[in-house]
Amino acid sequence: MRGPRTGRTERTQVGIVGAGPAGLLLSHLLALRGIDSVLVELRSRAYCEARQRAGVLEQGSVDLLRAAGLTGRLDTEGLEHGGIYLQFGGERQHVDFRELTGGRTVTVYAQTEVVKDLIAARLAAGAAIEFEVTDTEVADLETDRPVLRYTSADGVRHEVTCDAIAGCDGFHGICRPAIPAALRTVREREYPYAWLGILARVAPSTDELIYAHHPRGFALHSLRSPQVSRLYLQVPPGTDVAGWPDDKVWAELQLRLGLPGWDLKEGPVLEKSVTPMRSFVSEPMRHGRLFLAGDSAHIVPPTGAKGLNLALADVAMLADALGGLLAGRADLADAYSATCLERVWRSTHFSWWMTTMLHASPGADEMEAQLQLSQLRYVTSSRAAATSLAENYTGYPPLRAGAGLG
């Protein structure tokens, strides 16, 4: 391997590590405030735009993207949903978010599309995004001139002096570990199951998402467009997709989602992958001039559809905090971690609650199954319990529209 070519020293206001939804939206929100940033990303643009992940945006996330001028395609292609179905014990019950929350909804619009829209908007504005960088490092975090170093795709080593650094580099990134271990507290739970997800070229068989509790394990019917469906199956952790040919996936989905008189339509499988399930929170989300946002600081299991929404909410808050800090006011930056963590813990609890209510734990006895079924019957028959689910799913507390824009 050749060493990096001659180093280059540069200056920006905010160095951002990671071009996922958190890093991209932060760079956009900062630009709206006239703040410069340099955004570095390990992967290629094509890889970032193709990665299949989340699908559900809270209303507050949609409002935030709209206020930031990013909803051109979302407004025409996003599918607004006023509720979900919970299926258990051979019944399918609707939870009506609009009615329970005074009109709040969620929007199905794939994370890949959010990422494409953000990359296009940043590049059109002439932003500095470096894809396919290597050897990213952050240093001097306890000074007011932290440094971001990386090697760009052409082999040149860069050293960028910043006023602040945003660690938006996901769960496996380098920013969280740059905080001394003695100053970090981690709370974590691994679940004894994973999700096998498929993307299929077939019209959705449902008008709203179906979350199904089944003795064979959890299943979810989600969607992407009038022509493309997204479906998930609970599988053991570490499952190899090679052991799940398409016909086996469809047969299992038919068993877990099936109801008399309802037809699950099948189609060609476009993508298939397995996702582990984890709850993880690392506190605090700030160390000196390094601020963590999104999956770099916290992970939730996907059952509550919260990960992407938390990432967007963090950077809305961070744009405000950095705007203040760069103008000489530290109050919002000082409050950043505690303010974000309140929402993070609410979503962590909600995601854990949805996950444990809906999945079959290996070795679980009939007692556990009956407790889950009782909870599901309660949530679909008590207005108070249904309202709690609806208020959390659509976003609690609702994200202030325009947050991050000053």
* Residue 275 engages ligand RFL in binding (rule: CB under 6 A): yes
Q: Quick one: which segment of 49-57, 65-73, 240-248, 263-271 binds ligand PHB (CB under 6 A)?
A: 49-57
CA distance 68 to 77: 18
Taking CB under 6 A as the criterion, which residues in 321-380 touch ligand PHB? none
Smaller CB distance to ligand PHB: residue 15 or 301?
A: 301
In 3D space, the residue among 191, 240, 246, 195 whose CA is nearest the CA of residue 217 turns out to be 195
Q: How many residues bind ligand PHB (CB under 6 A)?
A: 9
Q: Pairing between strand 185-200 and 164-167?
A: unpaired
197 binds ligand RFL per the rule CB under 6 A: yes
Backbone angles phi, psi at 10, to 5 degrees: -135, 175
Q: Among residues 18, 55, 83, 323, which is the contact residue for ligand PHB, using CB under 6 A?
A: 55
| Pairwise CA distance, residues 316 & 318, whole Å | 6
For ligand RFL, give the closer residue by CB, 87 or 151: 151
Q: Is 393 a catalytic residue?
A: yes
SS3 369: helix
Told to check if 60 binds ligand RFL by CB under 6 A, we report no
Residue ranges of the alpha helices (H) in 212-306? 246-257
Half-sphere exposure of 118 (CA within 13 A, CB side): 28
Q: Of 109, 211, 232, 336, which is the active-site residue?
A: 211
d(CA 48, CA 22): 13
Which of ligand RFL, ligand PHB, none has residue 21 at its interface (CB below 5 to 8 Å by kind)? ligand RFL
Q: Give the phi and the psi of residue 238 in degrees, each rounded to 5.
A: 80, 5
When the beta carbons of 28 and 306 are compared against ligand PHB, the nearer one is 306
- By CB under 6 A, name the one of 82, 83, 146, 294 that touches ligand RFL: 294
d(CA 349, CA 303): 11
Cβ proximity to ligand PHB, 55 vs 323, nearer residue: 55
> Does residue 104 touch ligand PHB according to CB under 6 A?
no
User: Could you give phi then psi for residue 130, rounded to 5 degrees?
Assistant: -105, 110
Tell me: does residue 208 bind ligand RFL (CB under 6 A). no
Q: Which helix (H) or strand (E) segment is 190 a member of?
A: strand 185-200
| Catalytic one of 193, 336, 393, 396 | 393
Tell me how far the alpha carbon of residue 277 is from its chain's centroid.
Answer: 13
| Dist CA 65 CA 402 (whole Å) | 9
What is the per-residue DSSP string for 289-356? TEEE-GGGTEE--GGG--HHHHHHHHHHHHHHHHHHHHTT--HHHHHHHHHHHHHHHHHHHHHHHHHH
Do residues 129 and 123 lie in contact, with contact meaning Cβ atoms separated by under 8 Å? yes
Instruction: Figure out which of the listed residues 14, 129, 264, 305 binds ligand PHB, where binding follows CB under 6 A.
Output: 305
Binding of ligand PHB by 390 (CB under 6 A): no
Name the catalytic one among 158, 221, 287, 306: 306
Cβ proximity to ligand RFL, 49 vs 369, nearer residue: 49
Q: Smallest distance from the beta carbon of 351 to ligand PHB, in angstroms?
A: 9
Known active-site residue 211: yes
Asked about 192 being catalytic, the answer comes back as: no
Among candidate residues 28, 81, 213, 214, the one labeled active-site is: 81
For residue 34, the minimal CB distance to ligand PHB (Å) is 35
Residues within the interface to ligand PHB (CB under 6 A): 54-56, 209, 222, 230, 302-303, 305
As annotated, the active-site residues are 81, 211, 302, 306, 393
Residues within the interface to ligand RFL (CB under 6 A): 17-23, 40-43, 48, 53-56, 111, 133, 136, 168-170, 173-174, 195, 197, 275, 294-295, 302, 305-309, 311
